[in-house]
Amino acid sequence: MTLIKSISGIRGTIGGAVEDNLTPIDAVKFAAAYGTWLKQQRNKENYRVVVGRDARISGEMIQSLVMNTLIGMGIHVIDLGLSTTPTVEVAVPLEHADGGIILTASHNPKQWNALKLLNHKGEFLNGVEGKKILDIAASNDMTFAEVDDLGKITKNDAYIDLHIDEVLNLPLVNKEAIEAANFKVVVDGVNSTGGIAIPLLLERLGVEPVKLYCEPTGHFPHNPEPLKEHLGDLAKAVVKEHADFGIVVDPDVDRLAFMDEKGEMFGEEYTLVACADYVLSKNPGNTVSNMSSTRALRDVTEKHGGTYEASAVGEVNVVELMKKNKVVIGGEGNGGIIYPELHYGRDALVGVALFLSLLAEKKLSVSALRATYPNYYMSKKKIQLTPQLDVDAILKTMETNYSHETLTTIDGVKIDFAENWVHLRKSNTEPIIRIYTEAQSQETADDLADRFITEIKAIANI
- The pair phi, psi for residue 130, each rounded to 5°, is -60, -40
Of 83, 106, 357, 379, which residue is the catalytic one? 106
What's the rounded Cα separation, in Å, for the pair 309 and 322?
9
Instruction: Determine the number of helices (DSSP H) and then strands (DSSP E) in the chain.
Output: 15, 20
Contact call for residues 337 and 329 (beta carbons, < 8 A): yes
Our CA dihedral for 175, 181, 182, 186, rounded to 10 degrees, sits at: -90
What's the rounded Cα separation, in Å, for the pair 37 and 40?
5
Note if 106 is an active site residue.
yes
Contact call for residues 298 and 286 (beta carbons, < 8 A): no
CA distance from start to end of the chain:
22
Around 433, how many Cα atoms within 13 Å sit in the side-chain half-sphere?
25
What's the rounded Cα separation, in Å, for the pair 397 and 393?
6
- The helix/strand/coil state of 125 is coil
Contact call for residues 355 and 376 (beta carbons, < 8 A): no
Contact call for residues 78 and 51 (beta carbons, < 8 A): yes
- The helix/strand/coil state of 79 is strand
Q: Which residues are catalytic?
A: 106
